[in-house]
């Protein structure tokens, strides 16, 4: 049995009382008790094995689909970006992507390797781990349509290779084994023209820039599209474009985005989310469901 004295040293970066505003695309969020950025997968396995069995764990990629409340996060935050970001070309058109790799980087890697089908990933402003956790999508494509296998890690550092049929996958929803987190995925792609794939990525990014508020901090789409409709259309029809609470604003460019005008609090953003839900419910009879994940504690007054 390995003892504390015989364990190899941790090689990652551990911070305490770390402001989550530095790790979210909205640029808001209170402090996490602890943040760990692992050096690689083996380092992360070792780190998890050192934690108490009931330690709360929160995994944060690029923080692009995340609202951390102003009171911060209790427990430990795992930051896989930069440590679990390896990309590997496998046989028969497969790519192994670490959970910390950005989706845009996966799209470019696949295109350069002459593989097609992953171009839409360039429009997802997050990591592979986050995209797997919520079945993220863009431009009509969804992450799990590409998945052949995933690798997960449990809270004791145990590694598991799991098939797609071990998960319940739906629109912006994924359910699988409890207390396991994604650390990598094998994506099944198709051979194709590299130049054409890179050109499609450029066109998709230009389309995104033209239709979305990319110059202000946001989380991407705030609400899921209801069946047979679009959240942005409903919000705009309710006259909510430009609506503000504090320094948070419903984007005037795309109604399903809430932007930080500079100095917004997480409380401002969450209050605006609730207000939009209430107005759409009152005017359209539809309760919009959030796509963004809201975590953490309210700030104590």
Q: Tell whether pTM > 0.75.
A: yes
Q: Is CATH 3.30.43.10 the classification given to domain 13-78?
A: yes
Instruction: Give yes or no: 172 in active site.
Output: yes
Domain with CATH 3.30.465.10 in the chain: 87-211
Domain with CATH 3.30.43.10 in the chain: 13-78
Q: Which residue in 172, 198, 224, 244 is the catalytic one?
A: 172
DSSP-derived letter for residue 272 is: H
Q: How far apart are CA 70 and CA 79, in angstroms?
A: 19
CATH entry, 231-295, from 3.20.20.140, 3.90.78.10, 3.40.50.300, 3.40.50.970 = 3.90.78.10
pLDDT for the residue 214: 87
The stretches in the chain having pLDDT less than 50 are: 1-4
Q: How far apart are CA 42 and CA 46, in angstroms?
A: 6
Q: How far apart are CA 68 and CA 35, in angstroms?
A: 14
Domain with CATH 3.90.78.10 in the chain: 231-295
CATH entry, 87-211, from 3.40.50.300, 3.40.50.150, 3.30.465.10, 3.30.70.1520 = 3.30.465.10
Q: Which residue in 25, 64, 221, 251 is the catalytic one?
A: 221
| Backbone angle region of 172, left / alpha / beta, with phi > 0 → left and psi within -120 to 50 → alpha | left
Instruction: Give yes or no: 86 in active site.
Output: no
**Which residues 6+ apart lie within 8 Å of 185 measured at CB?**
96, 97, 99, 128, 132, 147, 148, 149, 150, 151
pLDDT 10s digits, 63-105: 999 999 999 999 999 999 989 999 999 999 999 999 999 999 9
pLDDT for the residue 1: 35
Instruction: Give yes or no: 291 in active site.
Output: yes
pLDDT 10s digits, 148-182: 999 999 999 999 999 999 999 999 999 999 999 99
């Amino acid at each position: 049995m390995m003892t504390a004295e015989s364990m190899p040293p941790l090689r990652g970066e551990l911070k305490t009382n770390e402001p989550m505003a530095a790790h979210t695309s909205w640029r808001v969020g209170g402090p996490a008790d602890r943040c760990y950025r692992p050096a690689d997968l083996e380092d992360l396995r070792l780190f998890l094995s050192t934690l108490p069995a009931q330690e709360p764990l929160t995994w944060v990629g690029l923080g692009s689909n995340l609202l951390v409340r102003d009171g911060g996060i209790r427990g430990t935050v795992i930051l896989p970006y930069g440590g679990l970001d390896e990309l590997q070309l496998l046989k028969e058109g497969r790519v192994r992507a670490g959970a910390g790799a950005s989706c845009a980087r996966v799209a470019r890697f696949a295109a350069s390797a002459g593989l097609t089908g992953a171009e839409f990933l360039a429009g997802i402003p997050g990591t592979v781990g986050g995209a797997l956790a919520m079945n993220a999508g863009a431009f009509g494509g969804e992450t799990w349509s590409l998945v052949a296998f995933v690798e997960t890690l449990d809270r004791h550092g145990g590694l598991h290779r799991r098939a797609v049929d071990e998960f319940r996958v739906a629109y912006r929803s994924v359910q699988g084994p409890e207390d396991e987190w994604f650390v990598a995925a094998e994506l099944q792609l198709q051979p194709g023209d590299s130049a054409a794939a890179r050109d499609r990525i450029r066109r998709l990014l230009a389309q995104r820039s033209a239709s979305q508020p990319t110059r202000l901090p946001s989380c991407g789409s705030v609400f899921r599209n209801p069946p047979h409709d679009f959240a942005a259309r409903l919000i705009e029809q309710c006259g909510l474009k430009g609506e503000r609470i504090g320094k948070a604003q419903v984007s005037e460019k795309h109604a399903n985005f809430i932007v930080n005008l500079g100095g917004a609090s997480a409380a401002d953003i969450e209050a605006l989310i609730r207000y939009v839900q209430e107005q759409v419910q009152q005017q359209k009879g539809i309760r919009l469901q959030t796509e963004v994940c809201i975590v953490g504690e309210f700030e104590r007054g």
